[in-house]
Structure 1
């Protein structure tokens, strides 16, 4: 019987009822992913099921409804965090299954039964239950703060209590494949789907299959659940053995006590108050000489107690930690430790049971497959790395920081002053600066602590940086991009360039595009070479805005030789990406008579495409229809352009209206649009107004003619000959 925790959904604390639902059976802990369920009004009372002991005072209870709401909030918060979840589709699938399962529960309380785990300590169960109540409350405070702040970095694994030592970060735990984002923790199987049923008759227990056929008649006083090897402990008349799921007694009931088989295929049995190990066939593997035997490392090893002293054995009985210690060995992530009475230091063994020495537990960290880091502690200021054989890795340096790294090339970084070294099983060598910079990126923000990323950055950049520069460099690209846009909007272009550059160097193409645009167009900051460089770098990565910008560089020779073919290539790439601006720029090229590709039909097609994308150039659309003598369409586009404040559109609308093209001739409307064109800043309208006031019947006004001609001369416009001479009394 291994040490397990159980979570139930129930209606009545301390009283077992048929309506109770067992939600979870888990080994040794309350899984962190489900702790948000246990958020409201926690209290301690007797267990519903493990209640056969004298002191039934260690069950934890919480109100169910607030817990359900809190867990859903937690999962929705996690889903909203960029780059936290490695497999978002699998996360969503697990979340949906979990939410659907929880929505079916109708009990008023969640009941956490840790009776089996509490047996591992000599302290009273009630005292341990209070500790767990406080631990779960603390962890939920950490989780709630992260949710309230919208900051997943506040889920600092080191701040959480009594969580699995197999992980060093929340991201590692969340993305651990076997957890399936928390769904694995839920016991969602329905009893009718099992191929067997343990049943009771006349206070005796038996086994039948799913069709009700009896596999073994009721004859056992106790019948425990089936474990990993599909074997269950049974007892009769004070003797214990095992049966399998077919009802066959695989290990005869000859033992005074027996415990569940571990995943390793070994189990502890008791005879005459002495313990030993057997395999699934019932073969005895060790002598029955141990006063106590407890599972270590999922049953691959066992802690053994003889004459009051503890050690560790393997399943064959071979001693791997000498049986000479007052306290029982404990497993941590990648190493083992034993408390020393009256001391803060503990005896430390690596995962191969090689003894390293006595160190504070907080100073020990597993780096990689039996290789341990001993961090600075009282008596030493530096980090030491111990190899698999238990000896210290001699580097010639005393490192002030060591941190685990992705294992594609070495397994740790070691820092000495401003230098960074990569540690492997065989050597320590200087770190490649490009790799160091890679590991400061956003893909590794959940892998490294801030101090590690900071020192990797300074090393990789090869220059001194102040704290603000470092914080900016380590900020996420979308944050830097946002800062850059804010600075640009307030016309602080130097600061915009600063933020855009940091994000661009991280590979953020929108920042590359905005940086190039600033260098291309903002007076006082123009830099043709930099504009071309960043447009080109971003364009080849697929940014449509930069494709357009690069095309314009090639059109005008900005930072490069002018090349109309390359301009057309990149502008077409951007147009294919449905960028309206690129379509308009292509329209400009094909409508420009001085350029070789002059083609009004193509120009019109591109302008129309831009209009369909929401960025019409009404004057050019009107002009190209005007050239084709499609005057009604031309008038409509000129009108729309005039309404948008385009002075040329207003002028051209006046021309067509004054000449009766596409509409009836209407001098009043023509005058209105010519005057609008003047207001918008187009002085040529003075000439057309002078013509109307000189020549059009009913509108003759020589004073106005002279006023408009005066303004035209002031604008240095050429005056048509027919208007140059002042008209006399008889029109001569």
Structure 2
């Protein structure tokens, strides 16, 4: 049985309403792609629907509007990561459908109902719900950090909790074809186009076909919706009958009241305040003798009331529960119950209406196949299981082992020992005398089996609990471990050594291997390791593993699948050489962790360690690490290496990393590790700029603004500096200067001001000059002095010359001592003194 999770859009927590919308029905998990919906206002309360067992009634609730906005932000973020998405057109189509669907929801809350999944553990639902709330909050923290940073690499699959084990990375989950970029998660019922229309005219009701042709003229006082048998109740002059979808009066209007036909093909009708059952032909199935009659579930059974007492009848009128109850019967999950006036316990019947006894409702659990579990309660300290006939299969035991998930077997614990029963046979297949009965996931042809690992003392074996063939397929022996590999192939361990047993061919290898591990490859299903060798196990052979395959499985993508020590041995085998422990550790650390360790080392100025971690991550193909490694070789004093800088920038650029493209462009501009080549510099910088990298636009601006270079073009320089400004990295001094040079002084003042406010010394200097001469603003010598002095404070010595000119020439500000002091400071800074200042000195 697949355990389902449900997501609803609702208005009122814990109260089911017709306006509720079921958004999702999914197996075993809350899909990661929809978890960003559950971002705000999380709390736990009773479910809207799965609420029939009070103590297991715990659902999660979140505010809908902020959740929908957050999911839209998540998808927009994913779209901005083009290298992440394999089929961008399919992604956009799925995104548009999802956004359109969400925009039509109008409920205030999102309700996550995991009742079915939470039933898999004995832990109370409320505690499991808290765990899931914490898990979802953690995953949303990871997702939000990635969105805030604009870096999809932060969606590290290992950092996410309780996500599908079918994938090894977020990109693999995202691009899984059947997932349709999350749209598959949304549950949408198929709505067949209606072939008819119930319409009103002059306060009477009739029927039209889908083309508008009248099938039944308006003549009925009431016309109800059509049911599962294409029959609808109609009334006229106080009498009720039925019409079909062709407009035919299928059953005449002869009853005082009539109700919809149930799925069972039976309907309740009334005459002279008594009720009975009819079929779709109008045949009366029961006499009209009941004071009340109500369908139970799909209408195979009915609550019936006579003489003020309730009982249950079937569709032919046969009594299945006698008329002796004050309250009507209620349907539970796989059982029925009747409230007993003034008592907490209720009368419990199984699905065959066999009476079990009076028990608290919350202690009853359906075990499938007609079996019911009664859990411990006041006055009863043990559990009991009842058979289809209502008699106990076992009257006293401690608990069911919930960790097992066999199709038929149930593992029970009694007196510190374990046994197993067959639900199909309603009997024990293994008595309660074993130390352990374990589910190790044995499947045949893709289907789960009832084969169990059974342990007694130091003896272990595999027992086939399939009802038709109860037998030991691996008789108990002193095995240390038994591992199922595939179909009828097992690995058996004795004395720390393993053998491979193919039970379908009765082939057993020697106990020659020191480790056996499952593997996810297409060729084979497990590895057998012997010293430095690795062998692949298939259904028909044990053969040496290709080294390339071992290396692939030692990589980051399979870190989820293999233990560290296994990956280490696969790596050594794949490399074909011995490696130091530190080398092995670095190789086996995932690229995101390596990148983080390198970044931490860089901040601590431990550049040797940063180079080490960045190098390993780069060799694994992680382009951000390539860029950062090249950066160290490009400009960190003591570690410069032009050839290595060029190599890693080029490798990263060819792998479409925009930062590396920028770095490679600057290498070609300056001749770092390569001959100067302005055309190639422009090519790579433009590619980085096309990828919306502000730094690349600024670097292009620098090239076009450099007078000595062939592509000198101040117009293009301004375009790139403006593009970088829009992308959040403005060079205000250059923007000011370029507007200054073409006479747009007001813009120049605006940008110089912004640059000066950011502490740019040249911007402050140029702003001072514009104030001095009244360009783009009113002449203001005081402001000119203030900005020129700011420029000096920031280290720009040319301001001495301009200040000397002011103190020598400007009326109201003349001060020969200050002028001389600035000329002296300029000379000390090795600046050339203009002739006009030298001349004025001699006057």
TM range (shorter): 0.5 to 0.7
Label 1:674 to 1:517 Cα distance change in 2 as closer, same or farther (>3 A). Answer: same
Cα pair 2:739 2:745 within 8 Å, conserved: yes
Verify the 8 A CA contact 1:350 1:388 in the aligned structure 2.
no
Secondary structure of the corresponding residue to residue 645 of structure 1:
coil
* Larger proportion of helix: 1
- 1:374 equivalent among 492, 497, 501: 492
Secondary structure of the 2:318 match is strand
Structure 1 contact 659–665 (Cα < 8 Å) conserved: yes
> How far apart, CA to CA, are the structure 1 residues paired with 2:721 and 2:502?
70
Kept in 1: contact 2:513–2:529 (CA 8 A): yes
2:838 corresponds, among 719, 724, 732, to 724
3-state DSSP class of the match of 2:554? Answer: coil
1:342 Cα deviation from its structure 2 partner: 7.7
- For residues 336-351 of structure 1, the aligned pairs below 5 Å read 336=451, 344-346=459-461
1:62-141 to 2 correspondence within 5 Å? 63-64=55-56, 68=59, 100=111, 102=113
Closer/same/farther in 2, CA of residues 393 and 338 from structure 1, 3 Å limit: closer
Aligned to 1:333: 441
TM-score by length of 1: 0.58
Q: What are the superposed Cα offsets for residues 528-568 of structure 1, whole Å, 9 maximum, x if unpaired?
A: 23322332333333332222222212222223333222222
Gaps of 5+ in 1: 6-18, 20-30, 34-39, 41-48, 50-60, 81-86, 115-131, 152-168, 184-188, 208-213, 237-258, 262-267, 271-295, 301-312, 316-322
2:666 match: 552
Describe the shift of the 1:678–1:361 C-alpha distance in structure 2 as closer, same or farther (beyond 3 A). same
2:731 to 608, 617, 625: 617
- Contact 2:536–2:544 (8 Å) recurs in 1: yes
Match of 1:679 in 2: 793
**Equivalent residue runs for 1:431-580 within 5 Å:** 431-462=545-576, 464-465=578-579, 470-580=584-694
Select 2:318's aligned residue among 211, 218, 231: 218
| C-alpha RMSD of the superposition | 5.8
The answer on whether the counterparts of 1:591 and 1:598 sit within 8 Å (CA) in structure 2 is: yes
Question: What's the CA shift string for 1:190-225, capped at 9, x where partnerless?
Answer: x98965433366998654xxxxxx4x4426689999
Q: Distance in 2 between matches of 1:592 and 1:356?
A: 81
> Residue 302 of structure 2 is aligned with which of 199, 203, 207?
199
CA distance in 1, matches of 2:700, 2:820: 42
1:582-632, Cα deviation, whole Å (9 max, x unpaired):
111111011111112111011011111111222211111111111101122
Distance 2:529 2:458 in 1: 30
DSSP 3-state at the match of 1:582: helix
Secondary structure of the equivalent of 1:545?
helix
Kept in 2, the 8 Å contact 1:397–1:416? The answer is no
Deviates more, 1:169-178 or 1:363-372: 169-178
SS of equivalent to 1:366: strand
Q: Given that residues 598 and 611 in structure 2 are in contact (C-alpha distance below 8 angstroms), is that contact kept between their aligned partners in structure 1?
A: yes
Checking the alignment, whether the CA contact within 8 Å between 1:356 and 1:386 is kept in structure 2 is no
Q: 1:686 to 1:143 in 2, by over 3 A?
A: closer
Q: Determine the C-alpha separation between the residues in 1 that align with 2:617 and 2:684.
A: 24
Q: Which has the higher contact order (CA 8 A, sep 6+)?
A: 1
* Structure 1 contact 622–637 (Cα < 8 Å) conserved: yes
Contact 1:356 1:390 in 2 (8 A): no
Distance 1:646 1:70, change over 3 A: closer
Contact 2:704 2:711 in 1 (8 A): yes
Taking a change above 3 Å as real, the CA distance of residues 719 and 410 of structure 1, as seen in their structure-2 partners, is: same
What SS class does the counterpart of residue 517 from structure 1 fall into?
Answer: helix
Cα distance between partner residues in 1 of 2:756 and 2:112: 62
> What SS does the aligned partner of 2:527 have?
strand
Give the CA deviation at 1:649: 1.8
**Pairwise CA distance, 1:516:** 2.1
Q: Secondary structure at the match of 2:637?
A: coil
8 A contact 1:221–1:234 mirrored in 2? no
CA distance in 1, matches of 2:725, 2:675: 31
Give 3-state SS (helix, strand or coil) of 2:680's partner. helix
- Offset from partner CA, 1:105-125 (integer Å, 9 cap, x none): 9xxxx998x9xxxxxxxxxxx
**Higher strand fraction (1 or 2):** 2
**Matched ranges for 1:27-66 at <5 A:** 63-64=55-56
Distance of aligned partners of 1:447 and 1:199 in 2 relative to their CA distance in 1, 3 Å threshold: farther
Residue 401 of structure 1 deviates from its aligned partner by 0.7
- Equivalent of 2:748 in 618, 631, 634: 634
How far has the Cα of 1:443 moved from its partner?
Answer: 3.3
SS at match of 1:482: helix
- Tell me which of 815, 823, 827 is aligned to 1:713: 827
SS in 1 for 2:672: coil
Q: Secondary structure at the match of 1:633?
A: helix
Q: What is the match of residue 119 of structure 1? A: none
Shift in Å at residue 406 of structure 1?
0.9
Q: Structure 1 CA distance, aligned partners of 2:772 and 2:746?
A: 14
For 1:208-357, list aligned pairs within 5 A.
214=315, 216-218=316-318, 298=407, 333-334=441-442, 336=451, 344-346=459-461, 355=473
CA contact (8 A) 2:462 2:472 kept: no
Partner of residue 124, structure 1: none
2:483 to 354, 365, 376: 365
Deviates more, 1:474-483 or 1:645-654: 474-483
TM-score (norm 2): 0.51
Separation (CA, whole Å) in 1 of partners of 2:501 and 2:465: 9
Q: Deviations over 1:156-187 (max 9, x none)?
A: xxxxxxxxxxxxx9877788999x99x9xxxx
Separation (CA, whole Å) in 2 of partners of 1:330 and 1:663: 85
